[in-house]
Amino acid sequence: MISDVFIKRPVTAIVVSIVLVLLGGLALRSLPISQYPDISPPVVQISGSYTGADALTVEQTVLTPIETQVNGTPGMAYLSSNATSDGRISSNVTFEIGTNVDIATLDVQNRVSVAQPQLPDEVKRLGLTVKKRNPTILMVVALTSPNKTHDIKFLDNYTNIYVRDALLRVKGVGDVQSIGQDFSMRIWLKPDRMAQLGLSAAEVTAALQEQNVQVAAGSVGSAPQYGSQAFEYTLFVNGRLSKVEDFENIIVRTKPEDGSVVYLKDVARVQLGSFDYARASFVNGAPATLLLVN
């Protein structure tokens, strides 16, 4: 037995031990070691929205062009996509363990840019988000109103302003997803009234895009000026609309022959509500906003 050799020859055992320790010390700098090795593969997420489209339309017009371009990205292991009935899209590109996730994100972003000309205008206007994410959920934080005095829209708005950004600054947190209902200006069209006036939804959308804009008004008296102009005035104008009354008074159509004006409130009901009513969360029967920390 080899153990008998070292038992009977202690000097040999000491010499062999010293040699092994020295060899280990010399090889220590070249060994692939990590304090916190990766145990889950890196994931790059592509997300976006196609407002008003069903899941099949989203799959055919948005996901298919994106998957065609993204498929084959260097280091990619597999690709999984999801389309919801409210027009949301999500594609998770999973890479091999050890892949540099920053470089992988850049590669995916470049391939998504190639696919963008094939996407619907609505999707391009809203934009696509490409970001790295950890598929493992670290914790779920629920924000509730103790006496049920605030609804889910208020809680979600408070969370996005004060809580989410603070969590994102915590060391080790990669992403924080909010599951709630964002504030949004809802415009509920009246089809019967629009039919009477001969209006279409496209005309209403065009009026909103033209009159709800942020513009630069410039200044008065800036150089070069003539004469004894001594002052320069910067002009300020009202930008994007923020009140229900402002949206209600958007002019949809005018008739020069009789001077009549059709306002948005004549063909629609304007309300400050939620962007999406498809999701809601509750804790012990009380409305709540959930934060998924990755």
What pLDDT does residue 193 have? 92
Q: Does the 185-220+232-274 domain belong in CATH 3.30.2090.10?
A: yes
Report pTM.
0.66
Give the bridge partners for 79, in sequence order. Answer: 93
What pLDDT does residue 256 have? 79
Query: How far is Cα 282 from Cα 150, in angstroms, rounded to an integer?
Result: 13
The residue that leads in pLDDT, 241 or 269, is: 269
Rounded to an integer, the average pLDDT of 181-201 is 89
> Where residue 1 falls among pLDDT bands split at 50, 70, 90?
low
Say if CB 75 and CB 99 are below 8 A apart.
yes
pLDDT in tens, 206-263: 999 888 888 777 888 777 777 677 778 888 777 788 888 999 999 999 887 778 899 9
DSSP class per residue in 224-291:
S--SS----EE-----S--SHHHHHT-EEEEETTTTEEEEHHHHEEEEEEES--S--EEETTEEEEEE
Q: Could you tell me the residue ranges of all domains in the chain?
A: 36-134, 185-220+232-274
- Give the tokens for residue 204: 């209403």
Domain 185-220+232-274 in the same topology as domain 36-134: no
CATH class of the structural domain 36-134? alpha beta
How far apart, in Å, are the Cα atoms of 183 and each of 87, 147, 156, 270?
18, 21, 8, 13
What pLDDT does residue 35 have? 63
Residue 111 has pLDDT above 90, yes or no: yes
Q: What is the mean pLDDT of the chain?
A: 86
Say if CB 235 and CB 175 are below 8 A apart.
no
Cis peptide upstream of residue 224 (ω within 30 degrees of 0)? yes
- Give the tokens for residue 234: 């910067």
> Where residue 87 falls among pLDDT bands split at 50, 70, 90?
confident
